[in-house]
Chain A
Amino acid sequence: MRNFISKSIALGLLLLPSHLLAAGEQGGMVIVADSRNLTGLTAWWVNIYNESHFYFALLTVVTIPLAGAILGGIADLVMSRTGIDLRSRSLREN
């Protein structure tokens, strides 16, 4: 697991310049989300979107792998309760 995390971080750092490059120009059309009837977390999130797409992108890039890792960890825990061997694969063929 530690190996996997360190490899992922290395790859993330490697791609950081590409991320900035890929962000490039924004499309000509500007979309503004309607936050007038929203409250709490949703309102905060929509306000970030309206104020800065850069911070919005940054938060998206941080939260998605984090959510994936947490949900994956939980699902992993549930799967390990089934009693099957989750460490090896006996089928070794092409």
Chain B
Amino acid sequence: MSWLYVLLPIAGVHVWWPGLVILGLCVGVIGGFFGMGGAWMVTPALNVLGLPMAFAIGTDITHMAGKSLISTMRHAKFGNVDYKLSLIMVFGTVGGLEIGARNIMWLERIGKIDLYVRCGYLVLLTAIAWLVFSDVLKRQKKDRAARAAGRTVDHLTTGIEWYKTLQQIRIPPVVNFPRAGIRCSLWLPVGVAFFTGWLAGVLGIGGGLIRMPSLIYLIGCPTHIAVGTDLFEIAVSGLYGAATYSYKGRVELWAAFIMLIGAAVGAQIGAVATKYVKGYGIRIFFGWAVIGCDISILMKIIAATRPSLKTVLDLSATILILGLVTLLSLVIVLKFVMGVREELALKRAEVMVA
């Protein structure tokens, strides 16, 4: 069965290549659907497949650039990408990333960096999960109240509406983002991007997991536009990460290419699946993904403080992440298949009537 293994010449390891294709496929599906890179899922999976950790991170970021480009191309055709918003946010993201990375150096000097970063990550993910689900509950409450009064709520109604207050702060210049349907101060997206970029830099992650909900709750993007716009930004920041890591010699391009083969298919499926799922459906799926990631981080924190449980908890965290990746991608593929079947049946019925 040696043909199932490929030599990754720079890391000098033999890796089971179908694993890379499957991983690319699953993360492509999830990334295309949620508008995130998925570094938190890919890095441990690559490590499990046999890549040393430094190479796993670099290879993941490199493949993320290609994969997000594929998803963006598809989302752009649906009109889900606000390029103007994305371009403006890139300035803030890059600035925030650089400062975040410098803060990490400082944390490194005072020690215990891993614990600080993981605790920060845990708090942040818990806050995001709370935000998503309280938003869903508020929206459902509005739905129920409207039904009780014999009305229906507007399809653009949201639960949490922080963005409405933030959009009222009209520090010049005020900019229109017609695709996202937003009019706000230029400093709002720049500030949000800077903050999320800084968080991503401090936590050492890509940032999609933070930026996607920020686009929704702080800037006021509709869910589908948030997904597409975030993916365009991930494609660009992924390239930036690929440049940095490959210059430092920590990228295994062969592995990234193999993963891209699966990701090309997965990203299409994930992006097209958003066509069949309502915005709030995407938010609920996203909330569950965040909870899974949160629990895995908690396990790693406990493992770091309880050496006797380290092996069991590290293994459990990896199994949890891989299980979550598989489950989420299966659910999204199912939504895709059902949506396609429904659309084709509708088309056939229209032809019969005509």
Contacts and interface: CB of A to CB of B under 8 A. Distances in A.
A5 to B, nearest CB: 10
Contacts of A1: 73
Interface in B59-95: 62-63, 65-67, 69-70, 72-74, 76-81, 83, 86-87, 90, 94
A91 B225 CA distance: 12
Most chain-B Cβ atoms within 10 A of its Cβ — which of A49, A83, A93?
Answer: A93
Interface SS, B side: helix
A57 B251 CA distance: 9
A53 B249 contact: yes
B256 A72 contact: no
B285 interface: no
B343 A72 contact: no
B279 interface: yes
A67 B66 contact: yes
Given A7-B83, A46-B10, A68-B66, A89 B260 contact: no
Contact of A68 (B223, B248, B253, B260): B260
B90 A84 contact: no
A38 to B, nearest CB: 6
For chain B, give the interface size range: 35 or more
Contacts of A42: 7, 9, 254
Nearest to B266: A75
B217 to A, nearest CB: 11
B131 to A, nearest CB: 15
Interface of B: 7, 9-10, 12, 62-63, 65-67, 69-70, 72-74, 76-81, 83, 86-87, 90, 94, 98, 155-158, 216, 222-224, 235-236, 239-240, 242-244, 246-249, 251, 253-254, 256-257, 260-261, 263-265, 267-268, 272, 274-280, 340, 343-344, 347
Given A45-B9, A60-B246, A91-B277, 14 more contacts: A4-B73, A4-B81, A11-B90, A23-B244, A34-B9, A49-B249, A64-B239, A65-B66, A68-B70, A68-B264, A71-B66, A72-B73, A87-B78, A89-B78
